[in-house]
Chains A and B, each alone.
Chain A
């Protein structure tokens, strides 16, 4: 395996998914592509403008990058606008990811992700 696509969201379960993906990537000497998707159409609180959401998403990505660096895991960061599920599926194909890793408490419809993805998906609790 050469590439794992790690779907990044700001949820309580995300650190466990990151730790699991990093451990797997280190063990298999493969690269992680950490992907955050910002949905411009998603309803949000009045006190959380899009620019703050984007900054928070970059912050999460760079925290993961720093962890990966400390563990000698190769990583690339990706922040994309759009509807999360179709973007995730499309990008997993574009970047030829062999596995998708997401947190079990991510906001995606997990059954739809499994149904639509041509790649294996692991949800980490």
Chain B
């Protein structure tokens, strides 16, 4: 199974998210993924993500959110990352805004890989040193390095 760092293209790392609202943030993160070819139908993918966001709180607390969807509009598992200084409301149970946002797109038929990717990323992001590293990182390469360094 691919590592988190291998699923996150440098081109899909946004260090300074401009959007303040969660669905705008999601669109901002989907945009760079279109160029990778992993998302084959933008409208269908965004619709799947929005449907999930309306059913679930993908904010997992500690300033982290992981919006995600598994749909036919995705050809292969891919991640995007965005950082927001002001924070975005992802309806976290702890009531706090999310500053570190990872978006996961997965093909419909890859349920096991999708669940494993979500689980590994959630575990990773609960580590204080990972969140501190991601908050301090000055470039997409730094972000990739932080993730790679802490992946087991």
Contact = CB atoms under 8 A, between A and B. Distances in A.
Interface of A: 33, 51, 54-56, 58-59, 61-63, 65-66, 68-69, 72-79, 95
Contacts of B60: 77, 79
Among B70, B91, B93, B152, the most chain A Cβ lie within 10 Å of the Cβ of B93
B93 A54 contact: no
A59 B116 contact: yes
A44 B91 CA distance: 34
Interface residues of B, number: 20
Interface string B85-118: 0000001010000000000000000010011101
By secondary structure, the A interface counts as helix
Contacts of B123: 51, 54-55, 58
A93 B152 CA distance: 35
Given A66-B111, A95-B93, A74 B55 contact: yes
Nearest to B56: A75
A69 B122 contact: no
Question: Which 5 residue pairs across A and B have the least CB separation, nearest first?
Answer: A58-B119, A59-B119, A58-B122, A62-B118, A76-B57
Given A65-B56, A77-B57, 6 more contacts: A58-B119, A59-B119, A66-B114, A66-B115, A77-B56, A79-B122
